[in-house]
A and B are shown apart, each in its own frame.
Chain A
Amino acid sequence: MFGKRRQKKQDRSQNQSPRQTKTRLTFEQLMEKCGASKDFVSFTKSDKHPFTISYYKSMVNPDLVHKDLIPYLTRYSSLSLKELSREIPVENIEHTSDVQTIMDSLLTGSVIVQSRPGKSDCLLIPAATTEKRQISVPETEFSVVGPKEAFTETLEVNINMVRKRLPIPELHVKEVTVGKLSKTRVVILYIDGIVNMENVNTLKQRISAIEYDHILDSSYILQMISDNQYSPFPQLINTERPDRVAAVLSEGKVAVLVDGSPSALTGPTTLVEFFSAFEDYFLSWHIASVFRMIRLFSVLFSVLSTPLYVAVLTFHYEMIPTDLLGTLIASRSGIPFPPIVEAIILELAIELLREAGARLPSKVGQTIGIVGGICIGTAAVQAGLTSNVLLIIVALAALASFTTPVYQMSNTIRLIRFPFLIFAQFWGLLGVAICSAFVLGHMLRLTSLGRPFLAPLFPLRMTDLKDALFRLPFNRQSLRPLQMRPEDPVRFNSQRGLQKNDIEE
């Protein structure tokens, strides 16, 4: 239903001619335009030498201009631009008279050097300055053991962090610029020889087809290139861990880094991947497997517990276990709302707390959690507005939804509880079943970069199951996931992987 419309939209956008060719600026017009800004500087050092220097003060590293540029310009004042470019100790100097190129590099922090003012023939000397943030500890994907580095907002630093972990020439970095206004540099990373180029091409094509004026974060890209943009489920993983990126790259996945964004996108992804924390690989495989199971169970619990409560209390009183019946009747007696209203009030209260906690500075946020959780909860029960059984269920469900290691997914889980609640109210358990069927059907249709989203469960890929619901030990993981159709599916020789090279007498 939605796929067709999306295709049409893409066709239309491809037929349109690119906007950039509307009118060509002349060099004078460009200088005039730039001069309107206060931070644009254009000057000639002295009459003795003819070179004119222009740049944006705010974009350029002043040290470089003062130490590596101006001294050379004064020293070699008699040289032509071409000869000068050989003398200046900066790499990638461009010699051009194309106004468009000049404008682009001027705006990304280059210094232009002209032999005579007003002449468009000039040198472009890259001197961009970037303010860097310190590399910090991952916050949304924190792990107790393992590396404690997270991506920062600087693209070069981020690529460095990945390349440090994969020091091979096969790690390819392809750059695309998107966003009419923001001109954001988007970088696609993959390991040549492992990755299936189909995935890379899909990703590249989708990113370059993006029509938008500003791209400020990788989550923009995530939403724009998703296979189904109308789905509440994220179809690519958003991670802030360079180690995770390195790991998935070596599985044959493709990663996307966006300048100015502290998180990378990786794909193609499957549903089960959203429930595997990267820390799973740092723990022994039994423990990691059990934790994964707990996480999957907690997702089910989180989505279904309140709807089941509503369904059972509204329609199926026969189903309540005898021992629980007394407790339930007692806790529900004297409450003025039907179960659905009670459940929605409590769910909204929890969402309020969560939202308030997320918007406030972390120190105040904690207080909000405690105040909200303890005070409102107990007061609501004492006032007879909600039953304490439901309060426990809702709180546990909220807690369970936090176990999802990917933030985007945990938001989805928060959301899809509500349709389940409504169905439970109208049709009871049947409604919960219908809603589950809808969600399952939707997930079956979902793809991530054209690869099935529910794999390895459906279509069933037995070999991929070893790192899906549970994680087998490393020596059993000799094959890369089939899901990505890697060009080189073998990680290591499985025979040798299983050998034990103990020295015996």
Chain B
Amino acid sequence: MPKAKLMMAAILLFLVGCTPQKQVLEDIQLVGVVGYDDASGNKIQATVSVPTTEGGSEQAVLSSTTYSARSHTSRNIRQILQAETPKPFASGRVSVIIFNEELASRGITKIIDSLQRDPSVGRNIYLAVAKGSTKDMLSKEYPVGEIVPAYLKRMIEQNMELTFPRANFHHFNYSYYGKGSDPFMPLLEEKHGHIRIAGVALFDHSKYVDHISFEDSFIFKLLYQNFRQGSHEYKLGKENYLTLENLSSHVNYDIYNANTNPKINITIRVTGKVNDAAGTPLYQEKKIKMIEKTIQKQTEQDAEKMVDRLQKKGIDPLGLGDRARSRARRFDFKEWNQKYPDIPVHVKAKIKVTQGGIVE
């Protein structure tokens, strides 16, 4: 017992200073969004969007303001920005990080490295590429009833529920640091006073090289993951169009001879509903069969075209290499990378239309 008491006393005496650093909510600037632009002379320009309040505790109005500075390293930029803010910055609530197109195509290794070392930056935040200057994008106000950080975060979040493939910082890190896969992220653009997702920005390791249009992101998502929502438009006959709403989609990869003479079969199973078929009588079994066939053909064609395009570019956002590695022993990435552009990939789609809305 006296030993325990002595220990307690010693702990109280010697560890009084061992308290974590306080970061009281209202005494820090919570950075919501960071935007990186390229600047002249090997510098980068960072713009941070910070929520602010005005009007006391009762009728407080939330708005956002931006600070921006240029330097060689992102840590130093933070130091420079600090010189003009009333409170210290805290990066624990960054929800979106945007890279400007030019900067992204030069490579984002340095920024990613410092970001992923920072323990206060979450892994469920979103990365994105922006067409045009991120500073302009962040310093504007958008009539959406939300401040810019919340707007961006929710916009990306809800699209990833729908037609956009899932891609947060964690997924980025996986495909960035892992072999046999390349990262991708949403491509943002500012249009008509709003920010919109323009497509999927594809990276060759750290460099932004190409993008898929937003319309085709559904096809990409079909190939990339199993999911439950989203919709896509198909052409039916010459003039007609219809929209397939996805109820559930599953993708399956069959990879043969990964080490020697690789061949890949991708099977997509989609169960969907057609609500918007522009006058096609959906109560007829025959018609539905026809619709299914058309959708199947188009999906296969589009998907194969897309994979082919990725292969030609030498990028692998679908993680084919990673999938092949997981199915083969003594897998050699060097050999794979050489063969990659010419690997035959076949996509087989199985479409099932189970609902046609209220018909009878």
Picked from A4, A318, A329, A427, the residue with its CB within 8 Å of the CB of B51 is A329
Asked if A317 contacts B19 (CB within 8 A), the reply is no
Q: What are 27 sample pairs from A and B whose C-beta atoms fall under 8 A apart?
A: A314-B25, A315-B20, A317-B28, A320-B25, A322-B95, A326-B147, A328-B25, A329-B26, A330-B53, A330-B57, A330-B60, A331-B57, A331-B60, A332-B25, A332-B26, A332-B57, A333-B26, A333-B53, A333-B60, A335-B57, A338-B24, A381-B57, A384-B56, A384-B57, A388-B58, A428-B20, A430-B20
Asked if A388 contacts B25 (CB within 8 A), the reply is no
Instruction: Give CA–CA (A428, B23) in the complex, Å.
Output: 10
Which residue on A lies nearest to B30, using beta carbons? A317
Asked if B57 contacts A313 (CB within 8 A), the reply is no
Asked if B22 contacts A325 (CB within 8 A), the reply is no
**Within 8 Å CB of A335, what residues of B?**
26, 57
Tell yes or no: A334 within 8 A of B by CB.
yes
**Within 8 Å CB of B58, what residues of A?**
381-382, 388
Which of A4, A315, A339, A428 has the most CB atoms of chain B within a 10 A radius of its CB?
A: A315
Tell yes or no: A289 within 8 A of B by CB.
no
Tell yes or no: A387 within 8 A of B by CB.
yes
Count of interface residues, chain B, beta-carbon cutoff 8 Å: 29
Instruction: Give CA–CA (A4, B2) in the complex, Å.
Output: 13
Instruction: Give CA–CA (A326, B25) in the complex, Å.
Output: 11
**Within 8 Å CB of A382, what residues of B?**
58
Name the prevailing secondary structure of the B interface residues. Answer: loop
Tell yes or no: B65 within 8 A of A by CB.
no
Instruction: Give CA–CA (A335, B24) in the complex, Å.
Output: 12
Q: How far is the CB of B20 from chain A (nearest CB, A)?
A: 6
Interface digits, A172-193 against B, CB 8 Å rule (1 contact, 0 not)? 0000000000000000000000
Binding site for B on A (CB under 8 A): 1, 4, 313-315, 317-318, 320, 322, 325-326, 328-335, 338-339, 381-382, 384, 387-388, 426-428, 430
Picked from B28, B57, B92, B120, the residue with its CB within 8 Å of the CB of A388 is B57
Q: How far is the CB of A2 from chain B (nearest CB, A)?
A: 10
Q: How far is the CB of B19 from chain A (nearest CB, A)?
A: 5
Q: How far is the CB of A431 from chain B (nearest CB, A)?
A: 9
Which residue on B lies nearest to A320, using beta carbons? B25
Instruction: Give CA–CA (A332, B153) in the complex, Å.
Output: 24
Which residue on B lies nearest to A332, using beta carbons? B26
**Within 8 Å CB of A313, what residues of B?**
24-25
Instruction: Give CA–CA (A387, B25) in the complex, Å.
Output: 13
**Within 8 Å CB of B28, what residues of A?**
317
Asked if A1 contacts B25 (CB within 8 A), the reply is no
**Within 8 Å CB of A322, what residues of B?**
95, 150, 153
**Within 8 Å CB of A315, what residues of B?**
20, 22-23
Asked if B90 contacts A317 (CB within 8 A), the reply is yes
118-173 of chain B: CB within 8 A of chain A: 120, 122, 147, 150, 153
Q: How far is the CB of B6 from chain A (nearest CB, A)?
A: 13
Instruction: Give CA–CA (A387, B95) in the complex, Å.
Output: 26
| Beyond A334-B56, A339-B25, 10 extra complex contacts between A and B, CB < 8 Å | A314-B24, A322-B95, A326-B147, A328-B25, A329-B26, A330-B57, A333-B56, A335-B57, A384-B57, A430-B20
4-45 of chain B: CB within 8 A of chain A: 4-5, 19-20, 22-26, 28, 30
